[in-house]
A = this chain, B = another copy of it.
């Protein structure tokens, strides 16, 4: 089947390919204020399903949802010196409210550590109140000079978790639990995107944290995308906001804190980790539409058969859409569903109906199968599970083929142009990190040789993952 080109091919111009998908799959538009975005219904449906899956894991990890104000007094940010220094260049500042100039300027939250500490310090009294585990789903604003939809936007949607604990050990364990059980599990088992985990170097740490951990994925252009972070905040914010508790012995102690977040940038990650020259490829567990049933022609019996098959599929738990808009050409409709990355397309025409069968096309591979109408629902349940597994496996093997072990700076620089370079951190060091930055290559994270999370950033024999990134 000869295809008309609908997108700029990835190999020709990856950023143009990405922009084309955003438009043609009707995912998102630029907003009128620089760096903002409009998330269209299909893009938002992807985000809503991400939210639901992440939220369930957060609740399972014991945190409760709450909501803190969008507006933060400038003075709150100023209390933590690294924090204010890190965020100041990105702030949106409100100087007028209710028709008057404000006495103190108000900041639109870039993140909520400060305002949440102001309340934790009221709510937390005794060790019995700990651990204190809270999460919020919210919009945040960081003024963006080089915006790119979903990946870097002035306003983005995210969740931010904030917790307080009795000891550094407990806080670090909780931050690592979120990293593994919430984020890594979600990204690998739902998004089908494998992630490398490890510590950020000191220069890439969250402003105000004593340790940042991140999850790094490889996009189809072999660049890295930071998919999420989990931070140990130590006692810095607690000290500035006097967030203390009375321990069992009656001593007043500062809490140990964590914060952690994932954002709407994961939608960009989803597009770039799985997409191909025909459009998105959405993994079945995430897909708002798992199966689209296309009526080939405007024929009453055909349309009826489509709806009846769809109903049977819904009955076995699938998310299904019927496309009976036969006013639009069949080929164009197929192209549109390919663009949107629906895992399975089913075509039913008069001849199929006669033979009581249908054609299934798998988006990931383009493979076609003929299946009897009666057997289709159960067959699809299994097929979708297979696709989910295959997408993760394919992403792992492709990524691993692009990770190169190197032994010196020159090799690291070269390998980072076309994939991830993995090098002994003791070999690279902070000096090497600075040198790589000249080529826009960064240390994405530090991990053990087996890929696991180190106990400490000073642990010997750590490996640095170096790459260009979004």
Question: Which residues of A are interface residues toward B (Cβ below 8 A)?
Answer: 29, 31-33, 36-41, 44-45, 47-48, 64-73, 76, 88-99, 105-106, 108, 115, 118-119, 122, 128, 134, 138-139, 141, 143-145, 154-155, 157, 327
Contacts and interface: CB of A to CB of B under 8 A. Distances in A.
A313 B338 CA distance: 45
Contacts of A70: 36, 70, 108, 139, 141, 155
Contacts of A64: 41, 44-45
Contacts of A37: 69
Nearest to A28: B67
Chain B CB within 10 A, most for which of A70, A122, A145: A70
Nearest to A70: B155
Contact of A67 (B69, B97, B157): B157
Given A45-B64, A45-B65, 19 more contacts: A32-B69, A38-B66, A38-B119, A39-B66, A39-B68, A44-B65, A44-B66, A48-B65, A70-B108, A90-B98, A91-B97, A93-B96, A94-B94, A94-B95, A96-B105, A98-B145, A99-B143, A108-B108, A128-B327
Nearest to A128: B327
A72 B92 CA distance: 13
26 contacts: A31-B69, A31-B115, A32-B73, A32-B76, A32-B115, A32-B118, A33-B71, A36-B71, A37-B69, A38-B66, A38-B68, A38-B119, A41-B134, A47-B67, A48-B65, A69-B155, A70-B155, A71-B154, A91-B97, A93-B97, A94-B94, A94-B95, A95-B95, A97-B143, A97-B154, A139-B139
Contacts of A31: 68-69, 71, 115
Contacts of A92: 71, 94, 96-98, 106
A145 B122 CA distance: 26
A65 B44 CA distance: 7
A327 B122 CA distance: 21
Nearest to A135: B41
Given A32-B69, A48-B65, A96 B99 contact: no
Contacts of A327: 128
A236 B91 CA distance: 35
Contact of A93 (B39, B94, B144, B154): B94
Contacts of A89: 98-99
Contacts of A98: 89-92, 143-145
A21 B40 CA distance: 39
B41 A106 contact: no
A96 B139 CA distance: 19
Residue among A39, A71, A72, A155 with max Cβ neighbours from chain B (10 Å): A71
A336 B393 CA distance: 51
